[in-house]
């Protein structure tokens, strides 16, 4: 969330036509501190943020929401016990999941991490980290399952998942693991707070973001959306309006072409028969 708040503060400053040096003077600091705050390279302090919000002329309601978010961001991160297997580039996503209002995800290789069964998650983690000690792989799986659990808490974001049809036929972990995973996805179709669609091969051929993508939107309309693109050893976070528009349009188009939840159930059942 520090990344989102930093971008928000930068947008406010630029909208007022103020330089980092001018903003820094207002909080008794150098321009470099403003730059570090806006790029999430330093923890945000409530007093500094409140002073900047005064300078930028933010209305009281918005100010109260931002102050509350800064206070939450200062709390110890729940994933600290998993720190050994949580690289810096992943910590940002986990923090954003906590504060998002809607999470849209499109996956081309595997079932989305937030919808994986323990056995499926174990198989996926092993395939990507087989050279690691077993206890580290177990931590990775435990972290993934804890992220899932938090998605069931009150106030958790809505999850809108698009899964490429090929994922259903990729035998991750073997037939038994796939049977369990597909049955779980069938249950997910009835779960509140989750919208699941299967993108057929034909749909994916007509419209696709090009690779797996996670798109996060926040309830506070003044905060920018965030696109998350994960690679093997790094990740990219996008928040430029031009980038957001392109990814949102691609997801909207693919969602329109993908199977409805009812038709997705039929596709899941057909895939399940292949493993019986």
* Section 250-267 average pLDDT: 97
Which among 244, 260, 116, 109 is positioned nearest to 178, based on CA atoms? Answer: 116
Check whether residue 84 and residue 60 sit in a common domain.
no
How many CB atoms sit inside 10 A of residue 249's CB?
A: 12
Lowest mean pLDDT among 59-73, 116-130, 235-249, 259-273: 59-73
Domain boundary among 19, 50, 73: 73
Q: Look at residue 72 in the predicted model and tell me its pLDDT.
A: 83
Check whether residue 66 and residue 87 sit in a common domain.
no
Buried b / exposed e across 194-218, counting CB within 10 Å, b at 16+?
bbbbbbbeebbeebbbeebbbbbbb
Residue 44 CB-density burial (10 A; 0-12 exposed, 13-18 middle, 19+ buried)? buried
Check whether residue 177 and residue 100 sit in a common domain.
yes
Domain boundary among 46, 73, 100: 73
Check whether residue 89 and residue 69 sit in a common domain.
no
Q: Any residues with CB less than 8 A from the CB of 73 and at least 6 apart, and which?
A: 1, 2, 5, 43, 44, 95
Dump pLDDT digits (tens) for 80-129: 999 889 998 999 899 899 889 999 999 999 999 999 999 999 999 999 99
Check whether residue 204 and residue 248 sit in a common domain.
yes
Check whether residue 189 and residue 252 sit in a common domain.
yes
Q: Look at residue 77 in the predicted model and tell me its pLDDT.
A: 86
Check whether residue 31 and residue 94 sit in a common domain.
no
Check whether residue 132 and residue 199 sit in a common domain.
yes
Looking at the structure of the chain, the number of domains it has is: 2
Dump pLDDT digits (tens) for 197-236: 999 999 988 888 888 999 999 988 788 899 999 998 899 9
CATH number of domain containing 42: 1.10.260.40
Buried b / exposed e across 85-113, counting CB within 10 Å, b at 16+?
bbeeebbbbbbbbbbbeebbbbbbebbbb
Domain boundary among 28, 44, 73: 73
Check whether residue 139 and residue 236 sit in a common domain.
yes
Check whether residue 187 and residue 243 sit in a common domain.
yes
Whole-structure pTM over 0.95, yes or no? no
Instruction: Quote the mean pLDDT of the chain.
Output: 93
Domain that holds residue 160: 80-274
* Section 20-33 average pLDDT: 94
Q: Is the pLDDT of residue 69 over 90?
A: no
Residues in the chain: 276
Q: Look at residue 208 in the predicted model and tell me its pLDDT.
A: 80
Q: Look at residue 81 in the predicted model and tell me its pLDDT.
A: 92
Q: Any residues with CB less than 8 A from the CB of 237 and at least 6 apart, and which?
A: 3, 92, 226, 227, 228, 229
Residue 117 CB-density burial (10 A; 0-12 exposed, 13-18 middle, 19+ buried)? buried
Check whether residue 112 and residue 227 sit in a common domain.
yes
Check whether residue 119 and residue 219 sit in a common domain.
yes
Q: Look at residue 122 in the predicted model and tell me its pLDDT.
A: 98
Q: Is the pLDDT of residue 264 over 80?
A: yes
Dump pLDDT digits (tens) for 116-168: 999 999 999 999 999 999 999 999 999 999 999 999 999 899 999 999 999 99
Which among 243, 253, 185 is positioned nearest to 215, based on CA atoms? Answer: 243
């Amino acid at each position: 969330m520090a990344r989102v708040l930093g971008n928000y503060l930068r947008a406010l400053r630029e909208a007022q036509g103020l330089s980092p040096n001018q903003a820094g003077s207002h909080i008794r600091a150098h321009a470099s501190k403003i730059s570090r705050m806006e790029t999430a390279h330093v923890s945000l302090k409530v007093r500094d943020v409140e002073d900047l919000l005064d300078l930028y002329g933010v209305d009281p309601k918005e100010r109260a929401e931002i102050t509350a978010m800064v206070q939450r961001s200062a709390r110890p991160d729940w994933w600290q016990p998993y720190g050994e297997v949580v690289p810096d580039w992943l910590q940002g996503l986990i923090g954003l999941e906590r504060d998002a209002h809607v999470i849209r995800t499109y996956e081309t290789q595997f079932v989305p991490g937030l919808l994986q069964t323990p056995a499926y998650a174990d198989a996926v983690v092993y395939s990507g980290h087989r050279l690691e000690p077993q206890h580290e792989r177990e931590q990775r799986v435990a972290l993934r399952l804890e992220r899932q659990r938090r998605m069931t808490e009150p106030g958790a974001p809505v999850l809108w998942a698009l899964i490429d049809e090929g994922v259903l036929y990729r035998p991750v972990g073997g037939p038994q693991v796939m049977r369990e995973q597909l049955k779980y996805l069938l249950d997910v179709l009835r779960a509140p707070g989750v919208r699941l669609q299967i993108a057929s091969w034909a749909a994916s051929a007509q419209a696709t973001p090009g690779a797996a993508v996670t798109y996060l939107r926040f309830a506070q309309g003044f905060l920018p959306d965030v696109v998350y693109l994960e690679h093997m050893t790094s990740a990219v976070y996008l928040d430029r309006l031009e980038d957001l528009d392109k990814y949102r349009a691609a997801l909207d188009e693919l969602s329109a072409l993908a199977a409805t939840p009812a038709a997705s159930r039929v596709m899941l059942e057909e895939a399940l028969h292949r493993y019986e």
